[in-house]
Amino acid sequence: MWDELVDHIENLESPVFWDEAIVAVGFSLIASIVIYFTYQLFYGSRHIGAGVHRTFILGGPSITALFLAIQTSIPLSLGLLGALSFVRFRTPVKDPAEIGFLLLLIATSVLAATDNYLLAIILFIIIFISLTVQWLTRRQFTLFGRGNLMVSVDQPSFEALEPKLTSLLNERLRGLKLQTMSVLDDRVSLHYQYRKTRGLNWAAFTSELGQLDGKAKIEVFVG
């Protein structure tokens, strides 16, 4: 039975050469792994996406195999497009960067299926340089960025606490500006913006805020 199975496999005819298919799918797999690690390097620490990067390693070789199959038959490609029209993907894209990485994954997979390996490598080099420049630029401007601070205080204690609170905040935070103040359910909420400061011990800072008045309940939210 095993010999018959081997003979059957050897006698299979396919418009796609096996050696070309293995090279294309293998290149696509390597490209998908590189895209996955590139995403983790530049965007993984932000944790704001929908997790589509988890499909990169499976998606790349699958797209390449799909294009290898449909490029040999126009009726097959039309039938496949008709079948895929019934599929609906409802995973939300929370970060526009995910769209860019998905397009990069599709582009490299199609290039691998069409034997355009040099163009895929050039695309990787250009994308990596662009992301590096973007990361350096974002980091440079982040040094002069602004943070947000929300302080919530009991309304009966706010009048006596306000001078001490303002003095401590101006002492610890640079460029402090009060953006909004609201009162709800006997709580006064203050929204501040400040210049981001390196080396600030937020645990000690929040402890100082809590010790301004032993009777008042102070809540702090940092963004």
- What are the residue ranges of CATH 3.30.70.260 in the chain? 146-222
Q: Which residues contact 66 (CB under 8 A, 6 or more apart)?
A: 80
Give me the DSSP letters along 93-157: ---HHHHHHHHHHHHHHHHHHTT-HHHHHHHHHHHHHHHHHHHHHHHHHHTT-EEEEEEEEEHHH
Which of 80-94, 115-129, 159-173: highest mean pLDDT?
A: 115-129
71 vs 62, more confident: 62
174 vs 49, more confident: 174
Average pLDDT of the segment spanning 141-146:
58
The pLDDT of residue 88 is above 70: no
Residue 40 banded pLDDT, cuts 50, 70, 90: confident
The pLDDT of residue 12 is above 80: no
31 vs 84, more confident: 31
| Contact between 202 and 147 (Cβ < 8 Å) | no
**In the chain, pLDDT over 90 holds for what percent of residues?**
8
Q: 110: closest CA among 101, 118, 120, 102? A: 120
Residue 141 banded pLDDT, cuts 50, 70, 90: low
* CATH code reported for the domain at 146-222: 3.30.70.260
pLDDT tens, position by position, 91-124: 555 667 788 888 899 899 889 888 888 999 999 9
Tell me, what's the pLDDT at 33? 92
Name which of 25-39, 76-90, 161-175, 186-200 the model is least confident about.
Answer: 76-90
201 vs 47, more confident: 201
